[in-house]
Amino acid sequence: MVLFVILKFLLITAFCEAMTMKQIRNTGKMIRKSCQPKNNVEDEKIDPIKDGVFIEEKEVMCYMACVMKMANTVKNGKLNFEAALKQADLLLPEEIKEPAKAALTACRKVPDQYKDICEASFHVTKCIYNQNPEIFFFP
């Protein structure tokens, strides 16, 4: 299943075709199925993320880091702003592309405050939500 998600993601990236929100949600479900058991985190702790409720626990934070790793926005154990912008540019639907890139840009320095990838992922995700909750999506 994980291989399928990665393959689909790479194919879409290779052809530079933006995904629809339905495709993004479906890919998110597959990523969640991979990352959730790896981090032993219950639905009750990650479902509220979509509504801006961030439970500051290690399992939740590391779940977020796993999602970001699978989205290829982590390089050498650190969040990679350029990779995140590139993914947004290539994959997001036109209507949310620019607002998403603006939120990423506003949160660019947040990860610099954290040495732990899990903490950095948590706080940058929270920042992105706070920048623009209307376009926020996290599996």
114-133 pLDDT, tens digit each? 999 999 999 999 999 999 99
| 3 state SS of 136 | coil
Sequence-ordered alpha helix ranges (H) in the chain: 2-14, 21-38, 43-46, 58-70, 81-91, 94-106, 117-131
More confident residue, 139 or 1: 139
Q: What is the CA radius of gyration of the chain?
A: 14
Amino acid 105: pLDDT:
95
pLDDT for residue 14 is more than 60: no
Asked which of 8-12, 37-41, 101-105, 117-121 is least confident by mean pLDDT, the reply is 8-12
Domains of the chain: 2-135 (1.10.238.20)
Contact indicator for 85, 104 with CB cutoff of 8 Å: yes
pLDDT at residue 17, rounded to an integer: 61
| 46-55, long-range: CB < 8 A, 24+ apart | 49/125, 49/129, 49/138, 50/136, 50/137, 50/138, 52/129, 52/130, 52/133, 52/136, 54/122, 54/125, 54/126, 54/129
What would the pLDDT profile of 40-93 be if each residue is shown by its tens digit? 999 999 999 999 999 999 999 999 999 999 989 998 889 999 999 998 888 888
Overall average pLDDT of the 18-31 stretch: 82
d(CA 55, CA 60): 7
Which residues does residue 74 pair with via DSSP β-bridges, in sequence order? 79
**The pLDDT of residue 4 is above 60:** no
- CA 31 from chain center: how many Å? 10
SS3 75: strand
Q: Is 57 helix (H, G, I), strand (E, B) or coil?
A: coil
Per-residue model confidence (pLDDT) at position 111:
93
